[in-house]
């Protein structure tokens, strides 16, 4: 087997919902300003009773239950994040303990910014292939509300908290991927474990609309497909205008692009997984359909995956 397949997903978001109007009480902004520039209306923040590990655990439990597999079937845990509760131990190790997974598994956290879920899929593929595992648990989880400068309206309106998980299994079916990095320190960064998010909004926008269409083209060509044969495009939910621009560049209708940025904002490494799970639970993604997942993020990372459901 040379590829992987997602057989189930799970997702969760914190209980506190923050609207654009709520943010307008904190910084100089408005519902209209945020919607027009980002497509965002709501996002979720953790309360004092909630944390990163708890979100990751809940999403993982849902995905595992939906998969029909047992904890003993899981051979690897990868958590994609830039905002874990602990610098060490990894969230993945905590998930192993909380879910009662086998002790002879690989468990680690992966940092690739908003590209995390895609990097996680490709990394999980390598782990499953090398170790002959039956299944792996991939989680994207972020608590970015604790990483924001609430006086900076250019960033504090963008980000939210959430977690998404997927149970991944090896397959001989369709799988194609393209991963890349063009190392950069300034576009998006969090300079220390207790640091705050800095983002060059214009630079990020230009990078995304220039890079993502090329990555999509390379991945689709590598899979031996055409754009028209892709049933669903699930992109990182960074900005609605970015998604719309990319749809135009690849000449595909917006109804093929999963969009839920209005409800969650930018959840970084959880973003693609949250959108994937929502489409799955709505019944929009059906067995046998071809799905393309794509993201871009800090460090000028990018990646895309095509797989068959």
Closest CA to 261 of 248, 247, 278: 278
Closest CA to 209 of 180, 240, 183, 188: 240
Give the side-chain half-sphere CA count within 13 A for 39: 14
Tokens of 136: 């792996």
Closest CA to 269 of 35, 126, 88, 55: 55
What whole-number distance in Å separates Cα of residue 174 and Cα of residue 184? 32
Confirm whether 114 is a catalytic residue.
Answer: yes
What element of type H or E holds 278? helix 271-281
Confirm whether 194 is a catalytic residue.
Answer: no
Q: To which residue do tokens 């009773």 refer? A: 49
- Within 10 angstroms of residue 70's Cβ, the number of other Cβ atoms is 12
With contact defined as beta carbons under 8 Å apart, do 216 and 292 qualify?
yes
Choosing from 236, 239, 260, 294, the catalytic residue is: 236
What whole-number distance in Å separates Cα of residue 3 and Cα of residue 297? 24
Choosing from 20, 44, 52, 114, the catalytic residue is: 114
* Residue 199 phi, psi dihedral angles, 5° rounding: -145, 135
- In DSSP terms, which residues pair with 77 in a beta bridge? 107, 137
List CB contacts of 303: < 8 A, sequence separation 6 or more. 112, 115, 118, 119, 122, 177, 178, 179, 180, 215, 294, 295
186: left (phi over 0), alpha (psi -120 to 50) or beta: alpha
Confirm whether 44 is a catalytic residue.
Answer: no
Q: Which sequence positions are flagged as catalytic?
A: 114, 236, 266
């Amino acid at each position: 087997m040379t590829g992987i397949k997602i057989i189930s997903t799970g997702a969760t978001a914190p209980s506190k919902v923050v609207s654009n109007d709520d943010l307008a009480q904190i910084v100089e902004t408005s519902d209209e300003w945020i919607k027009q520039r980002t497509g965002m209306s709501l996002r979720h923040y953790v309360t004092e009773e909630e944390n990163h590990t708890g979100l990751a655990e809940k999403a993982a439990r849902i995905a595992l239950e939906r998969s029909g597999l047992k904890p003993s079937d899981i051979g690897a845990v990868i958590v994609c994040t830039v905002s874990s509760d602990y610098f060490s131990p990894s969230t993945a190790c905590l998930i192993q303990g909380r879910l009662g997974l086998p002790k002879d598994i690989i468990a680690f956290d992966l940092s690739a910014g908003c590209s995390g879920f895609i990097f996680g899929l490709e990394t999980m593929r390598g782990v499953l292939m090398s170790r002959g595992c039956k299944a792996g648990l991939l989680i994207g989880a972020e608590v970015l509300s604790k990483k924001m400068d609430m006086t900076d309206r250019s960033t504090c309106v963008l980000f939210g908290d959430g977690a998404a998980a997927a149970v991944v299994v090896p397959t001989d079916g369709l799988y194609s991927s393209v991963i890349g990095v063009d190392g950069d320190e300034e576009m998006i960064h969090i300079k220390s474990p207790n640091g705050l998010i800095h983002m060059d909004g214009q630079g990020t926008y230009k990078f995304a609309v220039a890079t993502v269409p090329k990555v999509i083209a390379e991945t689709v060509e590598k899979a031996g497909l055409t754009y028209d044969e892709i049933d669903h495009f699930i992109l990182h939910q960074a900005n609605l205008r970015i998604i719309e621009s990319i749809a135009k560049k690849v000449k595909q209708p917006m109804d093929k692009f999963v969009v839920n940025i209005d409800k969650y904002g930018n959840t970084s490494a959880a973003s693609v997984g949250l959108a994937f799970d929502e489409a799955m639970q709505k019944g929009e993604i059906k067995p046998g359909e071809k799905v393309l997942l794509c993201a871009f993020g800090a460090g000028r990372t990018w990646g895309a995956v095509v797989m068959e459901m």
